[in-house]
Amino acid sequence: MDYRFPVRRKCPTCGRVTEVKPPDSFRPFCSQRCRSADLGKWLDGGYRISAPVSEEDLDQGLVPDDDTDSERKLS
């Protein structure tokens, strides 16, 4: 990829802002260390849904943020 102006991005692991320089083999991370740390978090189960989805959750659909609106629908 040929960049005509400096492109900066934030590393999703450490938050450090780095300039993109081709060839960028660590993308979207800033280094091999951050890339490996993210992989380790995936393998250890660090990225997961906190509670399993139940049938009841699927039947209800999206829950509105306003409680008064949900009370009207149930009445």
Higher pLDDT, 50 or 43: 43
- CATH classification at residue 35: 3.30.50.10
Asked, for residue 26, whether it belongs to a domain, the answer is yes
pTM value is: 0.53
In the numeric block, the tokens 């060839």 are attached to: 23
- Is 59 contained in some domain? no
Quick one: which H or E segment has residue 17? strand 17-19
71 occurs within a structural domain:
no
Q: Is residue 14 pLDDT above 80, yes or no?
A: yes
- Which range marks the domain in which residue 27 is found? 8-43
Pairing, β 17-19 against β 8-10:
antiparallel
Helix (H, G, I), strand (E, B) or coil at 50: coil
In the structure, what pLDDT confidence band is assigned to residue 59 with cuts at 50, 70 and 90? confident
* Within-domain flag for 31: yes
Task: Break the chain down into helix, strand, coil percent, rounded to 5.
Answer: 35, 10, 55
- The mean per-residue pLDDT over the stretch 5-23 comes to 86
Whether 14 is covered by a domain: the verdict is: yes
In a domain, 1, yes or no: no
3 pLDDT above the threshold of 70: no
Total number of domains constituting the chain: 1
